[in-house]
Amino acid sequence: MSKRLTADLDEQAQVLSSIASSTRLQIVYELSTCCKSVSELTEILGLDISTVSRHLSILKNSGVVSRSKSGIQVCYSLRNRSLLDYIEQLTTIAHNGIQRRSEPPQDVDDRLSERKRMRSSRRRRISKHNVIQKY
């Protein structure tokens, strides 16, 4: 594998790791509408300032959000709005996966009858020592 590909994969893993928290996903959604300060996010999310700051730091270090300062006010915003499309795709994948796990497969009866048929068709072989073996 090339060094460039490895570096790209590491960067991608860092971004995925940074959004692998429901709190950080909430922050991303909140920042999708407009730039917000730590205190605004703290109020919206109902979390401590230190907790929100820690999550923002992780998102900033991975390049998901950017920070701008105007006087004493620090404002955070999304660096790339295409991340929202990606998160939407993840939501679709997650919903489909949950749906598949909760619904029984439509061909359950077919699979059960196939298993019964296979069990009945198994042959037994008697070895030299008259030991029955299944295969």
Proportion of the chain above pLDDT 70, given as a percent: 72
Number of domains making up the chain: 1
In a domain, 61, yes or no: yes
**Rounded Cα–Cα distance for residues 57 and 86 (Å):** 21
Q: Residue 54 maps to which CATH number?
A: 1.10.10.10
In a domain, 113, yes or no: no
- 12 contacts 18 by C-beta, under 8 angstroms: no
Please name the amino acid found at residue 58.
I
Low-confidence winner among 27-41, 50-64, 65-79, 112-126 (lowest mean pLDDT): 112-126
- 65 contacts 29 by C-beta, under 8 angstroms: no
In a domain, 107, yes or no: no
Closest CA to 52 of 36, 33, 62, 39: 39
The model's confidence at residue 105, banded by pLDDT at 50, 70 and 90, is low
Residue 84 φ/ψ region, left for φ over 0, alpha for ψ in the -120 to 50 degree band, beta for the rest: alpha
In a domain, 105, yes or no: no
- What is the rounded average pLDDT of the residues 123-129? 45
In a domain, 126, yes or no: no
Range of the domain at 73: 3-84
In a domain, 118, yes or no: no
The overall average pLDDT reported for the chain is 81
> Which residue has better confidence, 113 or 57?
57
Read off φ and ψ for residue 126, nearest 5 degrees: -95, 125
Is 0.85 topped by the overall pTM?
A: no
In a domain, 68, yes or no: yes
- What is the rounded average pLDDT of the residues 108-121? 59
Closest CA to 76 of 87, 85, 84, 67: 67
In a domain, 95, yes or no: no
The model's confidence at residue 100, banded by pLDDT at 50, 70 and 90, is low
